[in-house]
Amino acid sequence: MANVTGNTTTNSPRGVGSLIPIEISLWTGIEAILIVIGMIILGRILRKLIIRKSKETTLTWIINEDTADIVFRMFVLGGMIWALYVIGVMNYQIGSTSVGNIAFAVGFFYFAYLIAKKSKDYLIMSAGKKPSSDVQVKAKIFYYTFITIAFFLALSFAGISAELSALLAAAGITGIILGFSAQTVVANFISGIFMYFDKPLNIGDQVKIGELEGIVEDIRILSTRIRAWDGTLIRIPNEKLFNSNIINLQRYPARRVEIEIGIAYSADTEKAIEVIKKTLNEMPLVLAEPGPVVFVKELGDSAVVLSIRAWAPSERWFDVRTEAVSRIKKALDEAGIEIPFPQRVNWFANELRVKVDKES
């Protein structure tokens, strides 16, 4: 029979884990409980102090209720680990490491995750209500970089450095295999990085990509999401987006409105141009510099085609164009300038003869 001390045995194989005899006396148990209670009380006190301080300082991005909760959790977890050390549980060996090392590594990674998430949220919130894609991409890169570093540090703290080297080697081989089997994912990822430095578009921009047109909703590592004018969501892989012709309709503050309208050949062209210019000058959203331009573009089959060009704020381009078309039509009607229907003149090479039936 195995010798039993406390709740553990002493004849376990070393390869699986060395069980250390644990003798828990009454005083040891009371000490462990007092440590946990004391750390909880201390954590609550610090939490209240941080929340009170957050109402008096301008550094609310770091001294706030979220920070107070993180500090409280750190004290609670630290108290539990300390108590387990006092009891002796943390000395239990698992392979080449111990329970204490693993517990410290898990706690370290957990709080690193909380700090990384809080920092990412702060970077995004500090940019305003509508953060640019540049800010969001930077925040995500910082978050994933911080988490990755914390993960490998946690493995090191856990005391499995030898296993870590084997893990990295396996990860490298796995990465090569996945690289060949997931070329599209890798291409989208690399294209996303290139787009970050190229910056052809930002969140909130009105864009046209091939036959697709809408507003950029989100730019992610592998894809970009666009909300079309009909309210549907379009997901475009970054590789396809990077290799496409991207027309950014809102990159610059002003955008040109182009309208073509035909008037009758019998109409006074100069008068029509003056009427149109006057109409555009009366519109508050039409820019005075550069001013509107109206000229005869061509002599069409049924009308003299006038080309109208005016500049407007990019975010109000559609409103200006629709209003300009409506006002110009009304102004030409009031001036007696005809906008003709399409007309055709039929010409016959020989004399046209028509037979008339008298009875009918």
Which of 327 and 139 is assigned the larger pLDDT? 327
Average pLDDT of every residue of the chain: 78
Domain for residue 358, yes or no?
Answer: no
- Looking at the fold, whether 235 and 269 belong to one and the same domain comes out as no
Exposure b/e, 189-224, CB count within 10 A at least 16 = b: eebbeebbeeebbbbebbbebeeeebbbeebebbbb
For 310-322, what is the mean pLDDT?
Answer: 91
Q: What is the DSSP letter of 94?
A: E
- Looking at the fold, whether 93 and 167 belong to one and the same domain comes out as yes
Give per-residue pLDDT as tens, 5-58.
444 444 444 444 444 455 567 777 788 888 888 888 888 888 888 888 777 766
At residue 128, the pLDDT reads 65
- Looking at the fold, whether 217 and 270 belong to one and the same domain comes out as no
Domain for residue 186, yes or no?
Answer: no
- Looking at the fold, whether 205 and 115 belong to one and the same domain comes out as no
At residue 177, the pLDDT reads 59
How far CA 45 is from CA of 36, 57, 150, 201, in Å, comes to 14, 19, 29, 48
| CATH code for position 243 | 2.30.30.60
Q: Which residue's entry shows tokens 């820019």?
A: 287
Banded pLDDT at 258 (limits 50, 70, 90): very high
pLDDT of 76 over the 60 cut: yes
Q: What is the DSSP letter of 342?
A: P
| CATH code for position 316 | 3.30.70.100
For 134-139, what is the mean pLDDT?
Answer: 72
Give per-residue pLDDT as tens, 107-133.
888 888 888 887 777 777 776 666 666
- Looking at the fold, whether 53 and 67 belong to one and the same domain comes out as yes
What's the domain range around 65? 4-175
Domain for residue 55, yes or no?
Answer: yes
* pTM score of the predicted model: 0.48
Say what angle helices 65-87 and 26-54 make with each other, to 10 degrees.
170
Domain for residue 13, yes or no?
Answer: yes
- Looking at the fold, whether 75 and 209 belong to one and the same domain comes out as no
pLDDT of 302 over the 90 cut: no
What DSSP letter does each residue of 225-249 carry, written as one string? EEEETTS-EEEEEHHHHHTS-EEET
- Looking at the fold, whether 22 and 166 belong to one and the same domain comes out as yes
| Number of domains forming the structure of the chain | 3
At residue 296, the pLDDT reads 93
Domain for residue 355, yes or no?
Answer: no
Domain for residue 357, yes or no?
Answer: no
Domain for residue 183, yes or no?
Answer: no
Which of 89 and 59 is assigned the larger pLDDT? 89
- Looking at the fold, whether 214 and 328 belong to one and the same domain comes out as no
pLDDT of 344 over the 60 cut: yes
At residue 180, the pLDDT reads 54
Which of 174 and 295 is assigned the larger pLDDT? 295
Banded pLDDT at 274 (limits 50, 70, 90): very high
- Looking at the fold, whether 293 and 216 belong to one and the same domain comes out as no
Which of these three, 248, 275, 292, is where a domain ends? Answer: 248
pLDDT of 264 over the 80 cut: yes
pLDDT of 360 over the 70 cut: no
- Looking at the fold, whether 283 and 236 belong to one and the same domain comes out as no
Domain for residue 226, yes or no?
Answer: yes
- Looking at the fold, whether 92 and 229 belong to one and the same domain comes out as no
- Looking at the fold, whether 198 and 297 belong to one and the same domain comes out as no
